[in-house]
Amino acid sequence: GALLALNKPPGLPILGRSGDLSLDVLLPALRRRLGLTADLHVVKAPAREYSGLVLLSSCYHTTKKLQQFFTDARWRGQYPATYRAITVGVPAEVEGEISTGLSWQQQGDRAMVRGCQWAGGTGHTPGSAEGCALQVVPVPAPGRRSLARKDVKSTLTRYRVLSAVGGCALLQLQPRTAFPEQLQVHLTLLLCPALGDHKHSSRVGRVLGVPFFLSPESAPTHTQVLDEELLSRLGLSPRQLHHLPLHIHLQELVLP
């Protein structure tokens, strides 16, 4: 009917700056190619760095109905979106939940930045996180005031290990809340950053092979570091590592 599903590659944003390649820019050409008379709208899509399902609709009312369904599902405690991730490291528990506060924090400064909260389902923030020089940081025990002011948002992700081999794991992830980079941060709190996460993986350090969490202030962002054995299995050289995409994929969407 009115619905169309695509498989998005990693690195393609939903919205982009003028002149940049984005899904939104491609929609008119896609509509013409498929011979559709109505414009296509984005119902649900993964963030720029993720790959996976993009749900489109050619009916405005269907779009609004489904977007409301996804919002209401979170309040009902349902998990309509299921992701898969490949992690560097295997969680200690086969399944569980990751719960923490998340906040935007100015890089190089401990003060939290207000007025830059998340504003939609596509992982974009007003003013752009890059333009504000912001990073997403965990706040393990947020106070009531910071939650009420929306400086911090309580977040929750359910995870399950599907398989593990050679120090890496395939995880199923079901976010209960929506916040930019939530899945990456939650995986670092498990001490198992996503493969290809060049933004948050530096927060997981190792001493004698034992992983531990580093505060964002003491762990500047850099290209993910992988051991020689994993690099060999991936067929990559250290110089090619920064091209490795983030291995988080929107696998399934449950519709009403």
pLDDT tens sequence across 31-48:
999 999 999 999 999 999
Mean pLDDT for the chain? 87
Going by pLDDT thresholds of 50, 70 and 90, the confidence category of residue 113 is very low
Read off the pLDDT of each residue in 20-35 and give the average, rounded to a whole number: 93
- pLDDT at position 108, please? 57
> Average pLDDT of 41-69?
95
From 52-56, 69-73, 127-131, 218-222, the region with the lowest mean pLDDT? 127-131
* Cα distance between residue 234 and residue 245, in whole Å: 12
Q: 209 Cβ partners below 8 Å, 6+ apart? A: none
Q: Which residue has the higher pLDDT, 119 or 135?
A: 135
Identity of residue 226: L
Domain over 3-78 is classified CATH 3.30.70 = yes
User: Tell me: the pLDDT tens digits for 122-172?
Assistant: 344 434 444 457 889 988 888 888 888 888 999 999 999 999 998 999 999
Q: Could you tell me where in the chain the CATH 3.30.70 domains are found?
A: 3-78
Task: Determine the Cα–Cα distance for residues 159 and 175; give it in Å rounded to an integer.
Answer: 9
Rounded Cα distance between 97 and 245, Å, is 25
Judged on CB neighbours under 10 Å (0-12, 13-18, 19+), 171 is buried
| Cβ neighbours for 245, distance < 8 A, ≥ 6 positions apart | 10, 11, 49, 51, 196
Residue 48: name the closest of 7, 9, 23, 12 by CA: 12
Residues 6 or more apart whose CB falls under 8 angstroms from that of 61 comprise none
